[in-house]
Amino acid sequence: LVVGIFTFAALMVRPFAGHALETKGRRFVFLLGLAIFVLSVGSYSFIASIFLLFMMRVIQGIGWGFSTTASGTIATDIIPASRRGEGMGYYGLSGNLALAFGPSMGLLLAGMLSFRHLFLICAVLGLASLLFASNITYKKIGQPQAQARNKWDIYEKSALEPSILLFFLTVTFGGIASFLPLYTAQKGISGIQWYFLLYALALMVTRTFAGRLYDRKGHQAVFIPGAALIFIAMLLLAWLPSNAILFIAAILYGLGFGTVQPALQAWSVEKAAKNRKGMANATFFAFFDLGVGVGAMVFGQIGHWFGYSSIYIT
């Protein structure tokens, strides 16, 4: 529930973030989102009730929705159009590094410090990101006055096709992130922590070449092999006879997802007008959040009715 509240809040705020990026500017939205996120993380050190925890998760999700939509749009502004796939791959690499090493560092610090100190450290890191963000030179984007007044403009039509494809892929991610630890425990397979580390490392590897392939060959040359790798990985998880297969599935899924995701993001902003890049990114990330949330909910019921292995066959 705590994870779902965060994801839902981020999903709901993304269209408004996209609109604000085109009317209020990149700097305002990015710094506002980071400030909200940092304050919410720091507040966890002092929360003493479940109600307040849920409230702060909503606020944190709002900050996450604004800041990540803004950062993706800022990256789009900076990267040359001819190298957009490559640039988005490198941009995504930063998140992969956090995914690879953040949980391990968090567990290490949690064993040495109290949770209050751990959250304060996270808040300090967030303040550092806010400081760096305040020194970025932001590109000014002209905004037609007629579009600026359209407050109900909540998605970018040209970004729908890649965003819908992303939705179906992130549904699988929701099933993995939510239920793979339970599934492996049920089958008596250890080493689940290595699955996510190998997945993150495989993601990092693909970022170095998948974007260039997209720039040279287009989205089909990237999406088809990437989706095939994800398909094979899900079949291996449905079978899952041993640790070795678990680790192979992690690598294949990471290679597939790392190949497809930056290419789809580059595709989502490729045809959008200059004054619609923010809304294109908002549309893209909204479908990402929606896929993860739907995957967790739908696969939860499928796993309850038919067993965890059926999740990965589906």
Residue 10 lies in a domain: yes
Query: In the chain, pLDDT over 70 holds for what percent of residues?
Result: 93
Q: Is residue 142 part of a domain?
A: no
Tens digits of per-residue pLDDT, 127-149?
999 999 998 887 776 555 444 44
The Cα–Cα gap between 101 and 283 comes to 28
Dist. CA 263–CA 170, nearest whole Å: 14
Tell me whether residue 141 is in a domain.
no
- As given in the structure block, the two tokens for residue 243 are 């640790």
Give Rg (Cα) of the chain.
20
pLDDT band at 152 (very low <50, low <70, confident <90, very high): low
Q: What is the CATH number of the domain that holds 31?
A: 1.20.1250.20
pLDDT of residue 89: 86
Q: What is the mean pLDDT of residues 254-279?
A: 89
User: In Å, how far are 34, 110, 160, 172 from 165, measured between CA atoms?
Assistant: 28, 38, 9, 12
Measured CA distances, 124 to 134, 158, 187 (Å): 15, 38, 40
Domain assignment of residue 62, yes or no: yes
Q: Decide if 125 is inside a domain.
A: yes
Number of domains in the chain: 1
Q: How far apart are CA 80 and CA 86, in angstroms?
A: 10
Summarize the confidence of residues 4-17 as an average pLDDT: 89
148 lies in some domain: no
Residue 144 lies in a domain: no
Domain span including residue 105: 2-136+155-313
Q: Tens digits of per-residue pLDDT, 81-105?
A: 889 888 988 888 887 777 667 766 8
C-alpha atoms less than 13 angstroms from C-alpha of 236 in its C-beta half-sphere:
19
Share of the chain above pLDDT 90, in %: 48
Residue 143 counted as domain residue: no
